[in-house]
Structure 1
Amino acid sequence: MMSQVASPSISALLDARLAGHSLPQGLYTRPDVFEADLDVLFRKHWIYVGLECDVPEPGDASVVELGTSSIILLRDDDGQIRVVHNVCRHRGSRLLPPGPSVVSKLVCPYHQWTYELNGELVHAPHMGIDFDKSCRNLKPVTFRSIGGLIYVCLSDNPPDDIDRLVEVMERRLAPYDIRNTKIAFQTEVIEQGNWKLTLENNRECYHCSSNHPELCVSFIDLDFGYDPQSLSEEDRADAERHQALYAERTERWEAEGYPSAAVEQLVDCATNFRTQRLIIAGNGESQTPDATAASAKLLGSMTRKDLGDTHLWGHNCWNHFMGDHAVTSLVIPLSADRTLVRTKWLVHKDAVEGVDYDLEKLTNVWIATTDQDSELVARSHAGITDPAYEPGCYSAFTEGHLDKFSTWYIERMRAHGY
């Protein structure tokens, strides 16, 4: 009889990770690791789930599903943002289906228990005159609106280092007034790969020049590292001039009141983020096919198109804020080998399609880039499932952020008992 070899524990897989290398195979592929990831990284940490402009008017609601958890982002009758669990306090039925809804009250379709938009239970038929409705309100979800971006934590003990993200990004996002934008377009792409591969792929531009021709019109891959010894003398001189331009441009932007320098909270922390104002290549205005602005109506109080791209990433999102529009992407793990990437294009709330902006120009670059990345993630996941896979070494020049992400991942799993 052939003996069964026990699979290593999750703890043993975490132990096996080598500094400077990608993760052991099982951390990308095993269903038990996927469930642990959901529990630790998506229930006990702050995650980005949507925007205030997802629910622009009282009665607007949007349901976001995260594994077995489901939450309702909504705007109440007083115009305030609320986030509640999508679980009726009677017998647990879902109140609303996934996606957007418009409601006057939250009415459970099962037994008609009825809640105000602030979560208060106001009607529970056939429960008797002594039934105390006050202790059956919908369970609230802890959330923070950061410049119009909604972050939630499903834990009763949310990490307090979210305060650093708030401090940095409220000021950086203020000129864009994301709270007063609207969603011009949205896509949902299901990548055939583990969510950590989706994040790793986004955190490096080693692959950009050979895979993202549309993005490279406006995005400068050298911004995320290069090996100077691998460049020709001419290319190395160009790279050095670019770095000097960055220093000069960042100093000027900062002096003009636009925070621009890189801020990183990537390891030895709970809330993982990075932000920096990036130079836009070519015509320098926006991430479009010709690097000129897609919308004539600029965001918020912006009066200039030469302020680059304020990028922000977290452990389940990446975002780009430009003078004329913004692109925001949310990552939701679906299984060990399937990941949802939900991307939204934001314009000024008063911008009119066909008058102020052309939708194809607005969306072309990131639709193409997301589709290309989806193929890359699928190829990567397929290779990692091969018995021949073994963790590879990261480039110290172009993949330093991947090493930090993997290190952070190990740290956070350890912090929660794995």
Structure 2
Amino acid sequence: MSAQVNMPLKSRGNLASSLPAEQVAEISELFDLRRVGYSLDAPFYTDPTIFNIDMRAIFGQHWIFAASIAELPEPGDYVTVDYGPYSLIVLRNDDGGVNVLHNVCRHRGARVLTAPAGTTGNLVCGYHSWTYSPSGDLIHASAPGETKFDKSCFGLKRAHSRVFAGLIFVCMADEPPTDFDETGKIFEPYLAPHDLSKTKIAYQQNIIEDGNWKLVMENNRECYHCDGHPELACSLFPTWGLTEGLIPMHLEEVWDRNKGAQSALEDRCRRYGLPYQVVEELDTRVAGIRISRDSLDGDGESFSPDGHRLSKKLLGDLRDFRLGRCSMHLQPNSWFHFLGDHVITFAVFPINEHQTLVRTTWLVADDAVEGVDYDLNKLTHTWKQTNLQDKAFVELCQNGASSPAYEPGPYMKSEYQVEAFINWYVQRVQEHLA
């Protein structure tokens, strides 16, 4: 686990304090009157003021998944991460740690790095060539005649960072939520055997969905719609999220097959000393989490038409491909699938109240050779199709929320994780508004 980067950006206070009192009262009432077990009122998905509150209360205060260590394999490697009004530089430093810097030049605010990813030594702003060290210190500013210019006062502003099991998280709060370290201790034993430090990017996909970020997360948190994912249903049991008494007749045989596969998977996990039990604290802790190891259909190895492995190389120190998927959900912006042959990370980055960037990254063993050990099209096919289908579903909901006829509808029993996500969200924003 990495230590946090010191000297975070100082907050400008609660956004609500800069709004008219009547508007704050109206927004607070929307949260107070939220009907448990129902979707949110339309303004939560369409109103720019509520979006700005989300950016300050959620994305400006909580731990956000930014990237994996596989995206920064060498010192000087960086990615830029943008969401809402924020732009961050996530940079691998010389000692193997990670620095997170606000991508805002201290001269006149220009973006310092404009590429989505790359390698750099010092960071040079393209506007007036102000130059910063990898830790953000200003080391050069051409300023003739500025005899009193003190470079030490103009370093790039910093954010906190944590690295758990090869996943990089950032937080811009002055004092980040402290329970994230405890959440990291929960999921690290599940993910560590896959060893992300020995993986590489096979492919990364960015999709802009014309929907509010909360609709993207709600869609991910349930499988009630999984009949709309024919490619995924070849390997992912469409009974996910269901329990005895909730199984429709046409899925009874699938449910029985799932139970048998899950029992066999748990036997293998016990044999190899791998944790598999469900841990579900989505709205009972600030750093909400759900993690488990779940069986897959067919050969039970990967997201393929027959469940067979998609890469010939096992990850980390795993000894068996038949390990299903280790599935993890983290509030507020990410979910993950860790398999024996590859890993898929999903990150949600809000753009505005009606657009969201969804970034999907496929990781394989660092010694896997494309065309020899894996076929890139086959590796990515299932989730590329699933992502496009989810994009369409989210956009249908955004269009509906924008209609005068929209009113909140009830969540089904199988959508309990959607309710947990919304409950978590409402709690966090109410804390901010208070």
TM-score by length of 2: 0.89
Residue 41 of structure 1, CA deviation: 1.1
1:145 to 2:156 alignment: no
Which residue of structure 1 aligns with residue 192 of structure 2? 174
Amino acid at match of 1:200: E
Conserved in 2, the CA contact under 8 Å of 1:326 and 1:345? yes
Alignment CA distance shift 1:244-1:284 (3 Å): closer
Query: Structure 2 vs 1, CA of residues 8 and 170 (structure 1 numbering), >3 Å: closer, same or farther?
Result: same
Select which of 80, 84, 89 maps to 2:97. 80
**Shift of residue 325, structure 1, vs aligned partner:** 0.5
Give deviations 1:48-85, integer Å, cap 9, x for gaps.
01111212122222111122211101122344322111
1:272-351 equivalence runs, <5 A: 272-314=288-330, 315-351=332-368
Question: 1:268 touches 1:411 (CA, 8 Å); kept in 2?
Answer: no
Residue 414 of structure 1: how far off its partner (Å): 0.6
Paired amino acid for 1:401:
Q
Task: Name the CA shift for 1:229/1:360 in 2 (closer, same or farther; >3 Å).
Answer: closer
Structure 2 match to 1:192: 210
Paired with 2:246 and 2:369, the residues of 1 have a C-alpha distance of 49
* Aligned-residue offset at 1:235: 5.2
Change in 2 beyond 3 A, CA 1:85/1:229: closer
For 1:60, the equivalent position in structure 2 comes to: 77
Contact 2:98 2:161 in 1 (8 A): no
Query: Residues of 2 paired with 1:237 and 1:349: CA distance?
Result: 39
Count residues in correspondence: 410
Q: Percent identity?
A: 43
Change (3 A) 1:28 1:143: same
- Following TM superposition, by how much is the alpha carbon of 1:339 offset from its aligned partner in structure 2, in angstroms? 1.0
- Residue by residue over 1:256-309, the C-alpha shift from the partner in whole angstroms, topping out at 9 and shown as x without a partner, is 310111112211322122111010111111012331111111211122101110
Deviates more, 1:237-246 or 1:50-59: 237-246
2:371 is aligned to 354
- Secondary structure class of the residue paired with 2:173: coil
Alignment match, 1:413: 429
Q: Which amino acid aligns with 1:37?
A: D
Whether the 8 Å CA contact 1:289–1:364 is kept in 2: the answer is: no
Note the alpha carbon deviations across 1:18-55, whole angstroms, 9 max, x for none. Answer: 11111111111111111111111111011101111212
| C-alpha distance in 2 between matches for 1:61 and 1:7 | 39
Where in structure 2 are there 5+ consecutive unaligned residues? 1-22
| SS across alignment from 2:239 | helix
TM-score normalised to the size of structure 1? 0.92
Residue 371 of structure 1 and its aligned partner are, at CA, apart by: 0.2
* Bigger mean CA deviation after superposition, 155-164 or 89-98: 89-98
Distance in 2 between residues matched to 1:324 and 1:178, nearest whole Å = 12
In 2, Cα distance between equivalents of 1:85 and 1:8:
32
CA deviation after TM superposition for structure 1 residue 230, in Å: 5.8
Q: Paired residue for 2:37, among 3, 17, 20?
A: 20
What is the rounded CA distance, in whole Å, between the counterparts of 1:187 and 1:322 in structure 2? 19
The correspondence for 2:109, drawn from 81, 92, 100, is 92
Deviations 1:361-415 (A, max 9, x none): 100000000000000111111112221211111112x111111111111111111
Residue aligning to 2:136: 119
| 2:11 alignment counterpart | none
Aligned to 2:4: none
Q: In 2, Cα distance between the equivalents of 1:362 and 1:280?
A: 16
Secondary structure of the residue aligned to 2:240 is: helix
Distance 2:334 2:405 in 1: 31
Equivalent residues of 1:105, 1:117 under 8 A apart:
yes
Describe the SS at the equivalent of 1:378.
helix
- What's the offset of the Cα at 1:239? 2.9
Aligned residue for 1:221, secondary structure, equals coil
- Closer, same or farther in 2 for the Cα pair 1:229/1:312, shift >3 Å? closer
Contact kept in structure 2, 1:260 and 1:277, CA below 8 Å: yes
